[in-house]
Structure 1
Amino acid sequence: MNFGTAIKTCREAKGLSRAKLAEDCLLSPSYITLLEQNKRDPNLSVVNKISKALDIPPSILIFLATDKENFESFDKELAEKLSLITLKLIQNAADKSS
């Protein structure tokens, strides 16, 4: 799982700084940095806090964190479509909250 990239992608799509995300999650900015750099893995409680702060379902964050190797059994076109749909959902939610 690559939670760092997923968190960073969603955070940037929402236009949030690391400091703002940390504040919204009641976590330290340095911990958010460690997560985004893949130096720490979040537990389920942290995934839930971050998902809530990003206003996305935890399942979306987990989906985005899934390593490409886990999609090898998927049709490549289907995996790509699922990823694009997920990112569009995040962007639409960000647009609505702006």
Structure 2
Amino acid sequence: MNIGSAIKSIRKERGFSQKDFAIECGLSVNALCQIEINSSFPQKNTIKLICEKLNIPVSYLLFFSINDEDIPEDKRKTFNSLNTAIKEILLDDIDKSYTNI
């Protein structure tokens, strides 16, 4: 699970700098950096707060966090073939919800 990379990707999609987003979430820049490089795993309440600030459901973030190591080897081909399409749909949904704030 690569939750930090998912946070970073969606944060950038939203146009937040790391510093501004850290402030928005009440985190230090160092703490957010450690999360985004997957050096530390955020607590449940931090994940919830980050998702609120990104205006996405926690389930979206968790889906974007899945990597090949999380999928059984015999299911990876199927997952990877669907993964891109699903992410495009979710990103489109995220973009629509974000512009309706």
TM-score (norm. length: structure 1): 0.80
CA deviations 1:44-95 (Å, max 9, x no partner) are: 1111011111111111111111231222353524444234323442355336
Count of residue correspondences: 98
Structure 2: stretches of 5+ with no match in the other structure: none
1:36 aligns with 2:39: no
Structure 1: stretches of 5+ with no match in the other structure: none
* Equivalent residue runs for 1:76-91 within 5 Å: 76-91=77-92
Partner of 2:54: 54
What is the identity, as a one-letter code, of the residue corresponding to 1:23?
I
Matches of 1:18 and 1:88, distance apart in 2: 25
What is the identity, as a one-letter code, of the residue corresponding to 1:81?
L
CA deviations 1:25-62 (Å, max 9, x no partner) are: 11111111111111111111111011111111111111
RMSD of aligned Cα (Å): 2.2
Q: Secondary structure at 1:74's aligned position in 2? A: helix
Kindly, what percent of the aligned residue pairs are identical? 28
Distance 1:49-1:83 versus aligned 2 partners, 3 A rule: farther
Q: Secondary structure at 1:94's aligned position in 2? A: helix
Distance 1:42-1:90 versus aligned 2 partners, 3 A rule: same
Q: Secondary structure at 2:56's aligned position in 1? A: coil
What is the identity, as a one-letter code, of the residue corresponding to 1:42?
P
Q: Mean alpha-carbon deviation: is it higher for 75-84 or for 3-12?
A: 75-84
Structure with higher Rg: it is 2
Give the conservation status (yes or no) of the 8 Å contact 2:47–2:58.
yes
